[in-house]
Chains A and B, each alone.
Chain A
């Protein structure tokens, strides 16, 4: 096991900078997730660590061993690195049985016969695939293939474990099970792990830290809770599940709070540690579960504000209603047990919990 240090990593494909000056330190035994939309450079980063692609610039050091250093012209081929990589496609060799697949890395390392058998049995037991040792990959289900792929990687105790969307080929149910199983395994093994996904639930539930990537750059790094509650910009907020963005202007600034004027002139007061300058344009972001329909007669108070919204549509999603609202030109989505009756709805927004972003970045998606 080892720690991983990436410094100033750049990988270009023609004019595209697939990874753009990425720096990251992953501590020994830490589980870090790379999260981001399709094409943001997650796989490219992983391939650079594993040695499948040669990056253009930067340094990669794992446990004191330099894998890559553009300045010193060092580049280790993948076979000299000792990483473990589980592919999105699993990449089980179709002409070998499960046993042969798993034993292959041990054969390469000239592990003695008895030792080999024992270690394969051990690792297959770990992934609960012992009874399937004699099957061929095409005789396994997707989830089983994924476990074999993991076993094949764990069997040689890699310095670090790299997982590229290992669950994305599974259906929703299997995925939940596999995720729980992976979480358990991860606490048991304590391997330094980089996990790639574009599924925020996987990222939030498995990781010590999350790295949100956007267009080859790091948008934010932090523990899941921090990423979720204090996204650094609207992009991260959007990606991590915040769906409601309201354009606004700062009308008044107080101590630790600000009054924002929405597009239609309604005002809301929000808590803000470092309030933006008066008159500046901002974006106010809420998560759906943070707002609710206001009760009859409820008015703004110290806890939150009540605002009038226009109802655009409502749809029953099983157990509750999803209501699309328009608030001063911003779209809101509200989950509620009883749908609003008329064309307008009064909703309650909390004073704290919402996030105020300076109007600089635009919201993707």
Chain B
């Protein structure tokens, strides 16, 4: 070979500097945008966009003296606690039954059990309303047979049942991935030493699951506190207020907003959730740093249920049908009928009228279209951002990568309602944003901020599996960080990015809590339209919109699983 060495790549401006600092700055702005205005507003005696406002602590005093605020806090706590109990009990039982026993159809049952996770609690609420509501299918059926139905969705218990069912999959997934589930040798040792099935379950499996139960309990409690849809639909009419509905009623969404009060309550909520998220981190750190969601594909020798096998199977089927399949099926059926009742034959009421009115009413058609644009385009933008963050955090020498990681994960501690209120202030505050303030891009920005952690959760584990030698090799050969990222890392990350895009698409598509504070005429999405039409009492249109959401998500989940084998929880 010749002796002239062209080894040294020509010296050039380090491109990674602007890219890395730019990304970091973007993330910081994105995360700070809703938070700072909320904190600022909570200290002002008037709306923050007014000219003469003064700093004050009066809002805190006013909030403390607001009539019934104590009750609001109490309700919030009770609802979250009950929700957690319901979710943990069902989730843990399901994990043991579907994960460790010889119950028939465990795989299918497990899949069905997960479904509420993919849908929004909002849609599930409508589903429950259609069958367990005052004029619900099952309720009417029950009344015709036994008299008054013993349940009431318009109560803390009823709400906790819905929320609990919709959050049970989280408990299920975490328990499934706990040591008690994934390390069969531990319980085999117990069985060899003479412990029976139920002794082993009680003494070995369950205790080993405790860390997972504790972690998912805190997670579910947090989500229970942030929950808006269920209390809005069932709590409001019954006069049961929680923190989120309180916020909804005093913030910009109400005819007479009290910004000081709203921001103060939001700040309060932020502090509590921050603490809980911190607690989650501690619990996770104490047990195992990374919980692999989804469990193991191979199930070690399952427990024999013996004579209880079929009764338990029937019980599980009833649970899955009553809590998930029936409500959703009925909701979809309701979309194709004018009225649904056990007294009237189905053939008499079948119609496409709901969809026709949906198509003819510009607002609804626009909502569906906007939802698609926000989800398709927004998720793509967010995925690109998440991919970039993951690369900088895990695969660069960026000086502030640790801080960037922290900031990027911070939105976990920002409830949807708080993010909504915060972005509303942010866009009101910053001049020159008039153009996008009333467009769907506001939603894209807010949703992106909300779901960065979810996206990172999908990308980071897979990225960490890519050997660092692969990008180091490119660097040594003369590729700078950005070229390495584009030419080597991006293709290797493709499966992770597909998973990330799917998760973000679904999340964007069903999001409503943030949107409800931000949408304007023209920028409605399905989530906000659902709540609007619900308030107007147009149950048929609600059902039709919900049906669209359910079907799109179902198709999306099924395709992602079939084509890419993507795991969608995490």
Contacts and interface: CB of A to CB of B under 8 A. Distances in A.
Contacts of A83: 7, 476
A87 B469 contact: yes
B396 to A, nearest CB: 11
Interface in A64-116: 65, 77-85, 87, 89, 91, 93-95, 104-105, 108-109
Given A94-B492, A108-B483, A77 B475 contact: yes
A159 interface: yes
B493 to A, nearest CB: 10
A52 B481 CA distance: 12
B5 A108 contact: no
Contacts of B469: 87, 89, 91
A341 interface: no
Interface residues of A, number: 33
Interface string B1-42: 111111111010010000000000000000000000000000
Which secondary structure characterizes the binding site on chain A? loop
Interface string A245-264: 00000000000000000000
Contacts of A105: 477-478
Contact of B1 (A81, A152, A157): A157
B61 interface: no
A115 to B, nearest CB: 11
B490 to A, nearest CB: 10
B473 A79 contact: no
Contacts, number: 94
A109 B488 contact: no
A52 B475 contact: yes
A152 B469 CA distance: 14
A189 interface: yes
A1 B472 CA distance: 22
B8 to A, nearest CB: 4
A154 B469 CA distance: 18
B478 A79 contact: yes
Given A87-B469, A93-B488, A95-B492, A156 B7 contact: yes
Contacts of B487: 104
A109 B9 contact: yes
A77 B472 contact: no
A50 interface: yes
Interface string B275-318: 00000000000000000000000000000000000000000000
A158 interface: yes
B475 A78 contact: yes
A51 B480 CA distance: 12
B479 A79 contact: yes
Nearest to A85: B476
B474 interface: yes
Nearest to A89: B469
Contacts of A153: 477
A80 B492 contact: no
A65 B4 CA distance: 16
B544 to A, nearest CB: 44
Given A91-B467, A93-B470, A82 B5 contact: yes
Interface in B463-501: 467, 469-470, 472-480, 483, 487-488, 491-492
Interface string B416-451: 000000000000000000000000000000000000
Contacts of B474: 93, 104
B273 to A, nearest CB: 35
A104 B478 CA distance: 10
B469 to A, nearest CB: 4
Closest 8 CB pairs of A and B: A82-B7, A91-B469, A82-B8, A91-B473, A78-B475, A105-B477, A85-B476, A95-B491
25 contacts: A52-B476, A77-B14, A77-B480, A79-B9, A80-B11, A82-B5, A82-B8, A84-B7, A85-B473, A87-B473, A89-B467, A89-B469, A91-B467, A91-B469, A91-B472, A93-B470, A93-B488, A104-B479, A105-B478, A108-B479, A109-B6, A109-B9, A109-B478, A152-B473, A159-B7
